[in-house]
Amino acid sequence: MKKQGILNSHISKVLADLGHTDTIVIADVGLPIPEGVAKIDLALTLGSPSFAETVNAIASDMEIEKVVIAEEMKTDNSEALHYIEEKFEGCAIEECPHEEFKQLTQKAKAVIRTGEAKPFANIILQAGVYFG
């Protein structure tokens, strides 16, 4: 039995299979999941698990070189924006319109759905290379 890091077997496998520049999405309860993209549903109840809780767990187990968020987060979810700016300080943070964001999710290896019920609490994480 695995005793540290991501215990969810589906997430653990997705992270282990990522190559450089591959992406995953961490999504709120409302983000549409594109056909053909694996959905890992963690949502238990509204708010649980939270966006930040899920991002923290994934970020501790994944080498991340870039993140992408919807520019609407600036006006509609400043709490999530501040969290991302602090969490990924020193990492490239790109913004795009939400409609473009949804198009980018079609290329993701997986979408991890949280219970977060606040607008635009979504992020694309792009894998970097870890040489230890």
**Annotated catalytic residue within 7, 17, 20, 61:** 20
Q: What three-state secondary structure class fits 21?
A: coil
Q: Binding site membership for substrate: which residues?
A: 28, 98, 120-122
Q: Binding site membership: which residues?
A: 28, 98, 120-122
Number of helical H runs and strand E runs in the chain: 5, 6
| Cβ(73)–Cβ(31) below 8 Å | no
10 a catalytic residue: no
Q: What three-state secondary structure class fits 57?
A: helix
| Short-list 16, 115, 106, CA closest to 58 | 16
Q: What three-state secondary structure class fits 128?
A: coil
- Cα 121 to Cα 13: distance, rounded to the nearest angstrom: 24
- Cα 113 to Cα 69: distance, rounded to the nearest angstrom: 15
Residues with a known catalytic role:
20
